[in-house]
């Protein structure tokens, strides 16, 4: 290993360790367990091994950077995807809201959304809005991918191989009770990247209502995301009855987590029952991506249908909050 590489590794390790010392608070036991696992990975990395997974292509990353703050709209079918495209969304995220915060849609739905976005790309180019939205997918919770491999999972893997997925997300609910969550998370991500998502970038998910989700605290998720090659961090609510993001996580913790994530090179997406009037606050908090579903649906109801005019209105609100041009 060259002196330059050794120096870079040392600086990276010192930076991450300094972040942990500043974030520990009263979470010593859980944090120490996770930190020990991180240290083991750093030793492997310093010895020349690659502990990151799902680095994928930088094309999606550069496209996202050009439109920050970006608008992500979660959709449940191809028609909703079309409404999101026509309204001006930068990222179209596929999920099934009836199955939870990161509910995984069925394989045919993911394929249909992918195909609709592909067909819409030439129209986006023609009207001068670029090659069309990036595709993001919600893959449910980590626990859903542990254990035996059933027909639904095999069908999903087959579908994903045929899709150009830019970003993938895997929730960590229940993992706060698992001392081995980090190893399991990395193993599942690695398997998915190798088998079906070679070009996708991973986005770590921290649940603001961590007690309801029984998930690792946001500080641990930030460190784990940075150490294992994630592209970004999504802060969301697990139980939509918890209210909006601001109701579930104290502002100082959220701000510290955003600063820590961005300091480690992660983009930050904010979600959690955000309404149109929450967009300026999300931008002010440092969001690189504002992620919505409820606000894009009729009646602010996430179980209703995404509407084009509501997406367009969100694009305009985001433009006013950032001083950028609005809907073309």
* Residues 277-290 pLDDT 10s: 999 999 999 999 99
CA distance 117 to 95: 15
CA distance 238 to 136: 18
Q: Residue 63's pLDDT is what?
A: 64
- Residue 313 near residue 276 (C-beta atoms within 8 A): yes
- Residue 58 near residue 264 (C-beta atoms within 8 A): no
114-158 tens-digit pLDDT = 999 999 876 665 444 456 799 999 999 999 999 877 788 899 999
Please count the CA atoms within 13 angstroms of the CA of 189 that sit on its side-chain side. Answer: 32
Mean pLDDT of 45-68: 51
- Residue 73 near residue 87 (C-beta atoms within 8 A): yes
Q: Which helix (H) or strand (E) holds 119?
A: helix 107-126
3-state secondary structure of 55: coil
Residue numbers annotated as active site: 95, 169
CA distance 296 to 312: 9
Share of the chain above pLDDT 90, in %: 69
- Residue 308 near residue 272 (C-beta atoms within 8 A): no
State both tokens at 189: 């991500």
Closest CA to 295 of 283, 308, 309, 311: 311
3-state secondary structure of 246: helix
228-265 tens-digit pLDDT = 999 999 999 999 887 899 999 999 999 999 999 999 99
Model-level pTM greater than 0.85? no
- Residue 206 near residue 235 (C-beta atoms within 8 A): yes
Domain ranges of the chain: 1-51, 54-322
- Strands (DSSP E) contained in the chain are 70-75, 91-94, 134-141, 167-171, 201-207, 232-236, 267-270, 289-292
Q: Which residues contact 293 (CB under 8 A, 6 or more apart)?
A: 73, 74, 75, 95, 97, 302, 306
Give CA separation, 220 vs 46, 167, 236, 260, in Å: 21, 21, 15, 11
Task: Give bridge partners of residue 207 from the DSSP assignment.
Answer: 236
Most confident of the following: 155-164, 216-225, 241-250 = 216-225
> What's the CATH number of domain 54-322, 3.20.20.380, 3.40.50.1820, 3.40.50.2000, 3.40.50.620?
3.20.20.380
- Residue 305 near residue 294 (C-beta atoms within 8 A): no
State both tokens at 121: 């790309």
* CA Rg value for the chain: 19
């Amino acid at each position: 290993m060259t002196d330059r590489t050794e120096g870079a590794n040392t600086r990276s390790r010192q930076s991450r360790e300094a972040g942990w010392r500043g974030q520990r608070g009263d979470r010593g036991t859980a944090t120490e367990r996770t930190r020990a696992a991180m240290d083991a990975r750093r030793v492997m990395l310093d010895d020349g091994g690659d502990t990151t997974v799902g680095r994928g292509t930088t094309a999606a990353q550069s496209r996202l950077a050009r439109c920050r703050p970006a608008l992500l709209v979660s959709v449940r079918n191809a028609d909703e995807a079309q409404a999101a495209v026509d309204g001006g969304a930068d990222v179209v995220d596929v999920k099934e809201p009836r199955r939870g915060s990161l509910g995984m849609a069925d394989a045919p739905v993911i394929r249909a959304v992918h195909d609709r976005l592909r067909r819409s790309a030439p129209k986006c180019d023609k009207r001068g809005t670029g090659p069309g939205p990036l595709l993001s997918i919600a893959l449910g919770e980590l626990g859903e991918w542990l254990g035996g491999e059933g027909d639904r999972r095999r069908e999903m893997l087959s579908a994903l191989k045929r899709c150009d997925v830019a970003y993938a997300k895997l929730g960590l609910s229940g993992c706060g009770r698992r001392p081995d969550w980090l190893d399991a998370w990395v193993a599942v991500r690695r398997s998915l990247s190798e088998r079906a998502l070679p070009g996708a970038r991973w986005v770590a998910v921290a649940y603001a209502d961590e007690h309801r989700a029984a998930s690792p605290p946001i500080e641990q998720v930030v460190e784990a995301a940075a150490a294992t090659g994630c592209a970004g961090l999504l802060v969301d609510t697990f139980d939509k009855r918890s209210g909006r993001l601001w109701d579930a996580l104290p502002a100082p913790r959220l701000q510290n987590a955003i600063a820590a994530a961005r300091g480690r090179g992660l983009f930050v997406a904010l979600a959690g029952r955000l309404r149109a009037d929450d967009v300026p606050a999300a931008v002010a908090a440092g969001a690189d991506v504002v992620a919505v579903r409820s606000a894009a649906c009729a009646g602010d109801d996430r179980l209703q249908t995404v509407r084009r005019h509501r997406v367009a209105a969100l694009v305009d609100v985001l433009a006013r909050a950032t001083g950028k041009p609005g809907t073309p």
